[in-house]
Chains A and B, each alone.
Chain A
């Protein structure tokens, strides 16, 4: 029982990281049907942004909070360039976007290796984020609490954007019926670009969070992208609440499976559970009715 309780913050932190990584995919894959394999590399770019601000710009402890908006902007622009440059040709061909963006991810990885070097680098957490508090005999790391808060803030912002804002309504309109939206005077191309940019920007924010919990390397994206996609598959296409539930469920499964077996078998357990889950709900937890996605 104590072990279960002690593992709870870890489970929540893994869930929050998965959620941050998957939120962007919820836009690009869930809403647009684009499988962006370079999303993992956008996460990496976000992480390296924090590193660059810390060591190149000399911001020190202030680098992490400063990196949040900067990383969002950098990866959003990167995503915008990718969408306008390549991806818009491939709407309706999700599997081709997958292979295409995998090519892009290889290029970004090599670029990171050339710019920042192949060995891993570290981003030091600011003083107010290092250390922890003990509650009920469970150690709560401040950096983990920060990540959980960050994930909550991101979900709230997105829920507001999709549900309340004007451009969010346009986005939903395009998702539900692209042709009708276009006929109604919505610039669907612009909405696509904006949606993709926001999704990419969220990857940058996830990258900053990752920089807080461990070393950063050129291949950091590949280790998170697979789990992030699983979150979207489990959660169901395009639904925010699905992503939230799926991320924390997978995070908990990961953390507790590691407790009972070991880290490598835990991955297999997670995979088996996902397959078993799809037997019951092949379309994920929640699905959006749409005329657009096949």
Chain B
């Protein structure tokens, strides 16, 4: 960066121009993969566990960037999808840790005699893995179709999502015999026959979560670069025009919302083996909005930016709460205000502007060959 910033006078502009032709997405992907690969070498077991947890949130944040950044749908209820994935996985792991024919202890305390029908499918790992993806997708499909069909959008959509998150958290607390109530599901040491408390298990989990993150990011990025992605951005910027062109915005938006929910469900399912716990407090209104802050901090229009934002916010929270226990909420509140007011495009936006400024200075190229040609320029709409 410093070399392009102040090139020696004799050096020709050609190398700089040549470098610009390397697809920046590939560079970013390479850097991200390298950083993920290097992390286990640099971090101790405890820190690696924390990073794994942030990466779970990063998966959900990528989904939020798709729905919110690209689709213009501010989803304040992603904790619901995260929670469905998490509770499905936790149900499976609870059963795996219960002797055959027995009942999870919280059910015994609640006076149940037999396993509730809702829990029976989660005996099977395959059914659980299917549920982790299909259940959040199905809920998002129903809600998305119902509201987008009637052109409910913007603030109304955000508020409905928030109401869904509130209802979901209250339901989890209330249905104690099914969900463990406000203490949630804990004591989950086994997944697919592996002992998660064994030494080295953390590394495997990290590798799994990192691989899922890279997979989700790569898949969703490709999709966003396709015609579908262009259509989604078009719907965000002018839904009426897209309708006049003969497309049905309902399905464009619903499908993006479903994709986003599926990412959150997968994130939740990975979160449970990583942390060993899921409670209503982790999936309610406030955690849902925190997921949005992660995407906002990293950059709502950039999928990788959102993922970076999740890791950055997680790291900031850990670092800050270790020093000032009660102060994190002040800082987080200030962060919300600062990001929205000063950097609505987040860290990714700042990085892009910085890179663009550097390139402009380095090559003083004709204005037509400007930077960031492949990137959608976000509109004013939020």
Contact = CB atoms under 8 A, between A and B. Distances in A.
The prevalent SS among residues of A at the interface is helix
Interface string B29-48: 00000000000000000000
B154 A294 contact: yes
B333 A267 contact: no
A271 B164 contact: yes
Interface stretch (A53-61, A88-96, A130-138, A240-248): A88-96
B336 A278 contact: no
Interface residues of A, number: 43
B155 A94 contact: yes
Contacts of B162: 226, 229
A102 interface: yes
Contact of A282 (B151, B158, B285, B327): B151
Given A103-B340, A267-B167, A95 B333 contact: no
Q: Which of A94, A103, A114 has the most CB of B within 10 A?
A: A103
A105 B285 CA distance: 13
A278 B167 CA distance: 17
Nearest to A98: B158
A265 B172 CA distance: 10
B255 interface: no
A261 to B, nearest CB: 10
B221 interface: no
Given A110-B326, A262-B174, A267-B166, A86 B143 contact: no
Interface string A164-208: 000000000000000000000000000000000000000000000
Q: Count chain A CB atoms within 10 A of each CB in B167, B173, B327 and give the residue with the most.
A: B167
A106 B326 contact: no
B312 interface: no
Interface string B365-382: 000000000000000101
A201 B164 CA distance: 28
Q: Is the interface of B mostly helix, strand, loop or mixed?
A: helix
Contacts of B340: 90, 96, 99-100, 103
Contacts of A233: 156, 159-160
Given A233-B160, A262-B174, A99 B293 contact: yes
Interface residues of B, number: 47
A109 interface: yes
Interface in B256-285: 285
A268 B167 contact: yes
Interface in A103-127: 103-107, 109-110, 113-114
A99 B175 contact: no
Given A102-B336, A226-B163, A271-B163, A95 B146 contact: no
A284 to B, nearest CB: 9
A113 to B, nearest CB: 7
Contact of A226 (B166, B329, B335, B336): B166
B289 interface: yes
Nearest to A268: B167
Contacts of B285: 222, 226
A107 B158 contact: no
Nearest to B151: A282
Contact of A99 (B149, B156, B296): B296
A109 B154 CA distance: 26
A6 interface: no
A100 B334 CA distance: 9
Given A99-B293, A275-B143, A229 B167 contact: no
Contacts of A263: 170, 174
A107 B156 CA distance: 25
Given A98-B74, A107-B334, A230 B326 contact: no
Nearest to A100: B340
Contacts of A86: 337, 341
A269 to B, nearest CB: 9
Interface in A214-234: 222, 226-227, 229-230, 233
Nearest to A38: B333
A271 to B, nearest CB: 5
B170 A229 contact: no
Given A103-B332, A106-B329, A265 B152 contact: no
Contact of A98 (B155, B164, B172): B155
A274 B173 CA distance: 22
Interface in B296-342: 296, 326-327, 329-330, 332-337, 340-341
Given A33-B155, A233-B156, 20 more contacts: A90-B340, A93-B382, A95-B154, A95-B158, A98-B76, A99-B340, A100-B341, A107-B334, A109-B329, A226-B162, A226-B285, A230-B163, A233-B159, A264-B170, A264-B171, A268-B171, A271-B164, A275-B160, A278-B160, A282-B156
9 contacts: A33-B155, A104-B333, A106-B336, A233-B156, A271-B163, A271-B164, A278-B146, A279-B149, A294-B154
